Amino acid sequence: MNSGNEATTIEGLTAVDQSVLDQAGKVLAVHLSYSSRAAQRGRTPAFPSYFMKASSSLSVSGTPVERPAGTELLAFEGEIALVIGTKARRVSVEEAWSHVGAVTASNDLGVYDIKYADKGSNIRSKSGDGFTPMGPVLLPADKLNPAALRIRTWVNGILAQDASTEELIFSFAQIVADLSQQMTLLPGDVILTGTPAGSSVIVPGDVVEIQVDDEAAGLSTGRLSTPVTQGTEAFAAFGNQPKITDTDRIDAFGTAAAAGIEVPVTGKSALTEDVKAKLMSVATATISGALRKRGLNNVSVDGLQATKGMKKVIGTARTLRYVPNREDLFKTHGGGYNAQKRVIDDIGPGEILVMEARGEKGSGTLGDILAMRTQVRGAEAIITDGGVRDLDAVAALEIPTFHNGAHPAVLGRKHVPWDIDVAVGCGGTTIVPGDIVIADADGILVIPPHLAAEIAEEVVESERQDTFVFNMVTEGNKIEGLFPMNAEWKARYNEWVAAGGDQ
């Protein structure tokens, strides 16, 4: 390490020393950019988002990092750092990479015990001294393939992260271009480009090493080394004190299992691709029967019409509750960026918007503009037990809408949008946020998430049996002994399955 003003070289490459760190006017970081990390977090952003770290958090390879006294959750994140080479302002994606001067390894360290106090800024949790080590050398960007870089992280010599930039959700060029829309990127500025899955908690005595390679070009940063030490200075009483929630632990360790936390089954975790495929393959009547066997009779949303006929949809519930209109309350809750608009702006793929409108048909609960916004956000469907404005336009959209009829009046005639993501009553049943909802023109059913997997298994078998019985009836067999099947028919059914008759 050279602490002078001039950069040194190692085998022809520039070493990351104090002179390199001193050029960094800004340190910018991407929240989520690797698909493996997004899968852990349970969300895949449509566009990159960012936070800033203090330039004083930068350090060189070999510099120890302190876990602050009184904290537990110091976590590493192996990342590829871009160092801006030439000034960039409002550059295109196509030209953005030419403004990157160098690439190196970095560690986006953070202490989750104080994250709550940042209110999303990450300024204290991520900007501690030494919380952004870089190095050991800079790789020239024009000699690299940014889409084929390998990043690896070791903790005490054990491989913890191993990923390729092939899995990036957003290319490095897109990130640079996007940031340059609002700020001038200057030579020396650093952009941390996100971490893949595998980030976790480290403790005093651990050593974290990170390396970035372009294997085809034969270029490597070498291993960036950061030893972890225990700090002795506690947070002073005049500021926020460390505080940890289960969510913080899960985020710091990467998964609930790694954090040793048992997480209740939710709709998103229960609705795996396998469960989804099985539920979508059977009739809603079959699912209704399986729910009824478990004592769940009041799990259907009744009396609604479908804009997309027999098209079947499935997803997890996001909810919106309207209360009866009262003029003074509409003034405080009905206008501006109200609950209705907030939930629609926040809904995403795999989710179904469910509205409680008390069965009131005397005004619309949404129209074509908000329905289009829900579609653009990637939601699976809209369900309302109230009216819909602009019904012809809504029906022409791709997103299925289940509704209680058309009405030309605006929201405020009958409703005040009150709150979101609460238990609602829609079409005669209760729907809790995260419930699994499956719907088509034959009906709308609510499946408690903790039952989804066992119901999915059961209904596939039930549907197979129904197919067999239907075929036997078609061939002229009597119902007696066949529906339900007696032992003789059950044996014949098993033979049919073994012979591949259900294929």
Amino acid found at 438 = I
Cβ contacts of residue 64 below 8 Å, gap of 6+? 130, 226, 227, 228, 229
Instruction: Give the 3-state secondary structure of 98-140.
Output: HHEEEEEEEECCEEHHHHHHHCCCCCCCCCCCCCEEEEEEEEE
Amino acid found at 463 = E
Per-residue tokens: 496:
């049919």
**Rounded to whole angstroms, how far apart are CA atoms 110 and 77?**
8
For residue 211, list its beta bridge partners.
152
Ligand-binding site membership of 368 (annotated): yes
**Rounded to whole angstroms, how far apart are CA atoms 31 and 437?**
30
Ligand-binding site membership of 291 (annotated): no
Main-chain dihedrals φ then ψ at residue 359, nearest 5 degrees: 75, 10
Ligand-binding site membership of 390 (annotated): yes
**Rounded to whole angstroms, how far apart are CA atoms 304 and 406?**
11
Residue with tokens 């991407």: 30
Ligand-binding site membership of 440 (annotated): no
CA distances from 360 to 319, 335, 395 (A): 17, 20, 20
**Rounded to whole angstroms, how far apart are CA atoms 271 and 456?**
10
Helix/strand/coil for 349: coil
Q: Which residues are annotated as a binding site?
A: 367-370, 389-390
Q: Which residues are annotated as a binding site for Mg(2+)?
A: 390
Q: Which residues are annotated as a binding site for substrate?
A: 367-370, 389
